[in-house]
Amino acid sequence: MKAIIASEWLKARTVRSHWVLIIIAMMFPLIISTLVGILNPDPQYVSYREVVSIVASSGAFSLLLLSSLWVINLTSEFTHGTIRVTYAAVPARWKVIVSKAVIGTLVTAVVMTVLFWLNLGLGAALLNSRGAYIIVDGWFDHSFKVFVALVTFAIIVSWFGLGLGVLIKNSPVAIVVVLLWPLIIENLIALALALSGYESAWKWMPYQTAFQGIEGASGFDSALSRPWGHLYFAAFVIVVGSIAVVADRRRDA
């Protein structure tokens, strides 16, 4: 398994489009933090929680880009036919998908960690230079909990992208589904269920439940609190991934 993970890591790092997506994912929150730090009209009234909230919100955009990266990582193999070379070299197909998930987990964790603390530091430094007084709290404070929640959520979303990539195989369609899932698809499902009499269905939409839990209690009437919301979303994604692995094993490459 280690050999396959090493092989998948080499594949992932030798495609330029992957790096481009990572750079864009890193740049967007940096731009937001810089703009907030420079342009905020009342820096002295900005609280530490608000800075964390801005970083987490802009990180949500980045994690969507990262999930697109893992969609492309898999679907481009189908596009270029390299999936046949891959599966001929590793006939146990699940090992390839699990290896990609491991790489996705590690890369997403590293990128989101750098992104979170860099932006938090940058935003705080810029605001402090303009008269704000933002203290970096201790190890287990609010910021660290948000950081853990954001990274965990990003990792689960990367698995989601990978699972959809395996199921759908077509890059544009899979990316559209990944991007529209939180924006439209879950809301439509919730609406359909609400019209059928299950009015609290939207509380149980897995992506939204986990996403709203990143910053803890925020007025969102979720059925589940932060760790349980993430576990619920992870369970949903694991079910999707398992269906994808079984389907992939059964169909012709």
Positions in the binding site for other proteins (CB under 8 A): 3-4, 6-8, 10-11, 14-17, 76-77, 80-82, 84-92, 250-253
Smallest distance, other proteins to C-beta of residue 94, A: 12
CB of 238 to other proteins, least distance (A): 25
Name the residue nearer to other proteins (CB basis): 197 or 251.
251
DSSP the chain: -HHHHHHHHHHHHT-HHHHHHHHHHHHHHHHHHHHHHHH-S-GGG--HHHHHHHHHHHHHHHHHHHHHHHHHHHHHHHHHTHHHHHHHH---HHHHHHHHHHHHHHHHHHHHHHHHHHHHHHHHHHHHHTT-------TTSHHHHHHHHHHHHHHHHHHHHHHHHHHH--HHHHHHHHHHIIIIIHHHHHHHHHHTT-GGGGGG-HHHHHHHTTTS-SS---SS-HHHHHHHHHHHHHHHHHHHHHHHHHS--
Nearer to other proteins, 132 or 244 (CB): 244
Min dist CB 240 to other proteins, Å, is: 23
Cβ 148 to other proteins, closest distance in Å? 32
Q: Which is nearer to other proteins, 47 or 82 (CB)?
A: 82
Q: Which is nearer to other proteins, 23 or 136 (CB)?
A: 23
